[in-house]
Amino acid sequence: MLSKSLQDAINEQIRNEIQSAYLYLGMSEYCASANLPGAAHWLQEQWKEELEHALKFSKYINDRGGRVVLGAIEKPPVDFPGLSGVFKEVLAHEQKVTAMINNLYAMALKENDYASQIELQWFIKEQIEEEKNATEIIEMLKIAGEAGPSLLMADRYLAARKG
């Protein structure tokens, strides 16, 4: 059984994952309005992935005999400083999520909750991938710039993301 403090912290992380999904959906809509369908698609896939993370945490709480309690989420921003700005925000957000996951892991260590440590290792590995992907896209966009054929090629590259 999960401790109350760890259950509460994971419930907060469920809220954070749903908030992340909402942020990425907002970014996707921004990109769609900027005629960047590839980036919009990439961010929709990210939206789905964040919801899957929330569900994975939810299932974990339920499997451990706990109770999921959902918290309120905030409205995401609607405007961004171009596509590079979107992905810089993605990276900053993923770094913030990494810190949250690390804090959960530290809490599980402190409580000697070995099952939670194992579960959280999956999320730690996932965050490495999330930050790597965002960094690679930022670097690609530095080369492509904010307009012209190179940006269209970058957008096409983003469209190829599979779920």
Residue 2 has pLDDT above 90, yes or no: yes
Say what the pLDDT of residue 147 is. Answer: 81
**Residue pair 134/94 in contact by the 8 Å Cβ criterion:** yes
Q: Which of 1, 7, 13 is nearest to 126 (CA)?
A: 13
pLDDT tens readout for residues 63-116: 999 999 999 999 999 999 999 999 999 999 999 999 999 999 999 999 999 999
Say what the pLDDT of residue 148 is. Answer: 86
Say what the pLDDT of residue 57 is. Answer: 98
The CATH number linked to 146 is 1.20.1260.10
- Residues 86 and 10: their CA atoms lie apart, in Å, by 27
pLDDT tens readout for residues 109-159: 999 999 999 999 999 999 999 999 999 999 999 998 888 899 889 989 899
Residue 12 has pLDDT above 80, yes or no: yes
**Could you tell me the pLDDT band of residue 23, with boundaries at 50, 70 and 90?**
very high
Number of domains in the chain: 1
Range of the domain at 43: 4-159
Q: C-alpha angle 70/73/76, rounded to 5°?
A: 155
Say what the pLDDT of residue 163 is. Answer: 73
**Could you tell me the pLDDT band of residue 162, with boundaries at 50, 70 and 90?**
confident
